[in-house]
């Protein structure tokens, strides 16, 4: 992943303390990504929210702006408390950007949790997180929504021990109303299913998220991605053309039952994977693991 330009980070930092649309005071910068910056903010009525602001240089690109704003409408279709609520969307001519008003979360990402534990988690803890992820994904799939970017940075653990899935910005609607073009590659290479990495958009369905959930669990247990590569393009090539390694070939001490669940989720042939997020969730719940 390419580092963010310093100018984008500095511009985001300078915005702290300013007011957006004469009603949202930007209290703190929570993070800066490739498409947007996220701020903790206070509305003039005293309510606390987060503002996710599209970078100005991207706001002028119609397709990017449409996909960014679409995130709110997609996320709000999912009837599960594990999906972050999008409260509103708006634009600011002075800042030359559009933004989403989002439920403010307190806590940290699964990526941060894993890094604090030395790069991997106890299998029991990792399993529990993925069980929660799969429950939320199943709720999305029921609404015909495939997330397509399940990764540690998009799993949030609140201070109240709630699990949330972030960023439905590149989700695909299976009813055909998605905003992305056929063949367009969106997602994170290390967690892309074979059909997604290969640009076969018509093959993307709930089992694509099942593969990504399996890849996430694999990485939490093994401390490395499914496919180790020298670059993002090579990682996508491996995902599209190579079978995933068996978990126990990387972690010989892994419980056989857990390895079987993960290995099945990571099959290159979609028809050989778990048929749904719910099926994989129940399989994980039946696995006996030693206590932490």
Q: Which residue numbers are catalytic?
A: 149
Cα distances (Å, whole numbers) of residue 92 to 67, 98, 239: 18, 6, 40
Say how far residue 38 (Cα) sits from the centre of its chain. Answer: 15
| H or E element, residue 206 | helix 206-222
Compute the distance between CA of residue 204 and CA of residue 240 in angstroms, rounded to an integer.
13
Q: Enter the DSSP assignment of 191.
A: G
Cα distances (Å, whole numbers) of residue 62 to 1, 97, 118, 166: 24, 12, 41, 23
Sheet of 107-109: strand order equals: 107-109, 155-158, 163-165
The torsion of the CA quartet 100, 11, 184, 102, rounded to 10 degrees, works out to -20
Q: Phi and psi dihedrals of 102, rounded to 5?
A: -125, 150
The torsion of the CA quartet 110, 112, 116, 118, rounded to 10 degrees, works out to 70
CB 63 within 8 A of CB 71: no
């Amino acid at each position: 992943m390419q580092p963010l330009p310093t100018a984008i980070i500095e511009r985001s930092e300078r915005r702290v303390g300013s007011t957006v649309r004469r009603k949202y005071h930007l209290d703190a910068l929570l993070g800066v990504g490739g498409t947007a910056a996220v701020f903790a903010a206070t509305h003039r009525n005293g309510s606390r929210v987060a503002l996710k602001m599209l970078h100005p240089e991207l706001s002028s690109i119609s397709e990017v702006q449409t996909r960014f704003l679409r995130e709110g409408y997609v996320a709000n279709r999912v009837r599960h408390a594990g999906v972050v609520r999008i409260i509103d969307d708006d634009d600011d001519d002075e800042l030359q950007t559009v933004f989403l008003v989002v439920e403010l979360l307190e806590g940290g990402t699964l990526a941060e949790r894993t890094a604090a534990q030395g790069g991997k988690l106890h299998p029991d803890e990792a399993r529990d997180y993925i069980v929660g992820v799969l429950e939320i994904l199943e709720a999305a799939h029921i609404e015909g929504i495939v997330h397509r970017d399940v990764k540690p940075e998009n799993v949030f653990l609140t201070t109240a021990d709630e699990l949330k899935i972030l960023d439905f910005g590149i989700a695909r609607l299976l009813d055909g109303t998605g905003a992305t073009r056929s063949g367009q590659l969106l997602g994170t290479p290390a967690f892309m299913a074979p059909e997604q990495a290969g640009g076969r958009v018509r093959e993307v369905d709930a089992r694509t998220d099942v593969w990504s959930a399996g890849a996430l669990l694999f990485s939490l247990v093994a401390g490395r991605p499914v496919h180790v590569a020298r670059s993002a393009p090579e990682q996508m090539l491996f995902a599209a053309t190579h079978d995933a390694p068996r978990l126990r070939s990387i972690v010989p001490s892994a419980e056989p039952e857990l390895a079987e669940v993960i290995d099945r989720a990571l099959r290159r042939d979609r028809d050989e994977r778990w048929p749904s997020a719910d099926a994989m969730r129940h399989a994980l719940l039946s696995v006996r693991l030693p206590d932490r």
